[in-house]
Structure 1
């Protein structure tokens, strides 16, 4: 068999070995037909084979981002959202940035922004609608926090999405001022859903343009697989989104592999998930399991701890857990019984414990060896570390969040528990499983920033980013977690995540060999070429 492409380099990382090697990746149609030494390539090539010699640049599997929010992320990358506020250092500066955005985008019917982060505002309290009302009295303003767990809204937005001071939620909270009026803060999924719906309200054609534009960005970053991790309801609105993706795929305008995880909770059965799984099941888009939350984030005291917060000893977590242990167990057992992998958001040690307990109960009755994962794991009780291996649960983590947190954990959980913040190396060494992702749009989708954080545990200026620097990993470990490990979290390790004979030809070329560069140069790395299923979709 003759190859359509022969990709040659002295630095090939297959994703299954610890080092790079001299090799040629041979590709026919959408598959890798072999990976061979230089001297063996000739029998696979003829006058029609395109031979690309990348010298000493790194060739590796396409990045598989294990945790993204495709739909909100695509929107964040569009002109419809003010992303500048990610750099704001105060409420006042954030509002000024929004005024500048509004002036430059007069046709927008709503002002949308994303990325403000209370940790970046020093000791400031949570913002209120007052500053937004003064600046924007006549147009709704929806501002999504960087961690995607809160919305900050003005009065017009609260009115538009029908949030009232008398509304009650079973998890999270709707912020109130001292006089009992709405503050404009909507914290955690149930409370923020009405605002999120308006934030994401666009026509079909607008959505298509948003998604196509975003896919160009993912290709330029070498990302060939990602996910939609917001646990969406089984309703018409979300079904329409899926059909739009299917249309783009038919039009050959969807150059990414998308894995969707609708909601875990409040399902009598999972017939709807299975129906969607049957309808949307291609190489480029599929329903890959279900997703649920147990807690929120420690920044707003909604992360669930085993013991009280160090700086707020009256609580182990406000408005959490989202579900009781009994309800969680029931959902996990039923989903796994239906053949659906379960992924659970767990920020703090209390939620990690609950998720492991639920997976343990499921393992007693379900023997189908599914790719269940726990997402984030920003701190853990050491007694729970070995349970990942025992229960075959994949830890899915985002090293770059360590930098985002900016030493915020020390105040929340104290010196003892901080020893197990983002315990990447400890979990990897114990269970030999790890999936890396960004949680985009919580942080940028740039994989090199994530890799840098994983292998250095440092801020971008080189200063320490953690209180446990021993949790850094090797370059090989980081790249494996970003390829094969993440593919396993999507139940696709047999066709994605490594350069091996018979696998889908998702291949990237990086402009330098990451195994041989300084820490600073990791941050400067760029993607030179991205190939998806044997088709070049990006070249620098």
Structure 2
């Protein structure tokens, strides 16, 4: 009898011990959410636990709350939660500098450009130069390039340099041109100094811009650091947790290494080194840099210009300028040699290609040096105009198209003028690119376009501008589904930057980057997406917004 009682008591204590088993302590628990994991099955969950900056477990409210405990509990109150958004192609340094330049985006005339520059100078009268960005002559009644006559009249002594919206053309006044010693004869390779007779008009296209840019005094390291931190805060406020910075100098990369070592920057930075034919071998020899939130393992090559400034290299002349076809910024033999050499390295090659001639040349060159089953993850940046017969070249070399959906909805008002009725049909063809490549990295190209990634999501699925135009969508057959658009801003973007095992989805072991939105962009009407606000942004399990 005593033995039976002892056995019953032991079983009772064992049952009590099992029922009262201590929960595992974690750093953070988020619960009662609609969690879009963007895992391989695109599963939906309700909660997750975070420990040491990584997702430890994901599941239902009950499974997470029964198993874990934390001092930091986040009740999402049934709001949607997504992986941190990843901009696969942007210009972080340009955004930082642009925060302290004249914003000319949306200016409706040259007169308005002058007014904005005057207002800026009134606020900063001691600046040695006046810099601005964002003008677009396609928004004006006269869509031809401006000259600098009005700029000279308003600013006869201080140098003024205003870059176009695409960053591939600029307007400079005579004071700036004189400092740069702009030649009266000849043209730079891969660039154009627009002239009236032998007199420069102030318009500089592509490589010609370098003549003035190299004369502009750079901000101090302290000032530039302040700009970058301000730009980082802006990114966090719209849900961006990682960026692919498309084209940095060695000096800019060195500054990033310093700032990340000092833990001043927190955003994920995938830095593409801007190709410099004189120094790229040094970077290749130094090898891949991958520490914490900073990665340097790719080169950005700009092969041609932009469609808006007619610098994109086309197979046939522009429909609205029969004597112009654009141009390559580097000689074909130079591009071929560099691509061949980089194919022997561990570095990724990401080439800016807008025109159908440029895309064809780069696609064939990539295929020349890459095997079908390669794991190089080389990218075509923009892939804006691709001839139908060339889509197969993405498949055969395992290439990644890296596109910016709002380029389609920004350019659609005038792109047909440049390309005509036939060529416009295979421009901005994101669905066709996805079908050919199997994945599609989405970015914004900011500050060319707005920093908000939800604008890219909306443009990708709706193919309309902020006003919902055109009704039915621009070439709607190339719209992405919402699931594809979200993958493009998370999982596929991370894959395009060799970070798919670390970021891009809410999965066990991955870095705990996530955002909470006020509305579910996977369900709400299309016209509500652009106005949806970010409620929280987290990087590596730490709240940054």
| TM-score between the two structures when normalised by the length of structure 2 | 0.91
Root mean square deviation of aligned Cα: 2.0
Matches within 5 A, 1:43-62: 43-46=66-69, 48-62=70-84
**Are the structure 2 counterparts of residues 181 and 422 from structure 1 closer, same or farther at C-alpha, using a change threshold of 3 Å?**
same
Matches within 5 A, 1:356-375: 356-364=363-371, 369-375=375-381
In 2, the alpha carbon distance for the partners of 1:22 and 1:327 equals: 51
Are 1:428 and 2:434 counterparts? yes
Partner of 2:295: 286
Shift of 1:420: 1.4
Are 1:86 and 2:105 counterparts? yes
Q: Which of 29, 35, 58 is matched with 1:6 structurally?
A: 29
Residues 516 and 534 in structure 2, CA contact (< 8 A), matched pair in contact too: yes
Residues 419 and 467 in structure 1, CA contact (< 8 A), matched pair in contact too: no
Q: Which of 178, 202, 206 is matched with 1:184 structurally?
A: 202
Shift of 1:147: 0.3
In 2, the alpha carbon distance for the partners of 1:308 and 1:243 equals: 42
**Are the structure 2 counterparts of residues 392 and 49 from structure 1 closer, same or farther at C-alpha, using a change threshold of 3 Å?**
farther
SS of residue paired to 1:289: strand
In 1, the alpha carbon distance for the partners of 2:216 and 2:440 equals: 33
In 2, the alpha carbon distance for the partners of 1:170 and 1:451 equals: 37
Q: Which of 373, 387, 410 is matched with 2:393 structurally?
A: 387
In 2, the alpha carbon distance for the partners of 1:377 and 1:103 equals: 41
SS of residue paired to 1:414: helix
Partner of 2:306: 297
Residues 119 and 405 in structure 1, CA contact (< 8 A), matched pair in contact too: no
Partner of 1:219: 236
Partner of 1:235: none
In 2, the alpha carbon distance for the partners of 1:200 and 1:259 equals: 26
- Post-superposition Cα deviations, 1:21-67, rounded to whole Å, max 9, x if no partner, equal 23212111211112112221035422x34221212222111111010
In 1, the alpha carbon distance for the partners of 2:524 and 2:350 equals: 35
Partner of 1:486: 493
Matches within 5 A, 1:492-507: 492-507=499-514
Shift of 1:507: 1.0
Shift of 1:270: 2.4
Q: Which of 242, 257, 262 is matched with 2:253 structurally?
A: 242
Q: Give the aligned length.
A: 521
Shift of 1:443: 1.0
Partner of 2:332: 325
Residues 373 and 397 in structure 2, CA contact (< 8 A), matched pair in contact too: no
Partner of 2:12: none
Partner of 2:63: 40
In 2, the alpha carbon distance for the partners of 1:105 and 1:367 equals: 55
Partner of 1:152: 171
Return 2-11 or 337-346, whichever deviates more: 2-11
Partner of 1:22: 45
Partner of 1:396: 402
- Post-superposition Cα deviations, 1:78-102, rounded to whole Å, max 9, x if no partner, equal xx2011x212111111111111111
Residues 387 and 426 in structure 2, CA contact (< 8 A), matched pair in contact too: yes
Q: Structure 2 unaligned runs (5+)?
A: 1-23
Partner of 1:68: 90
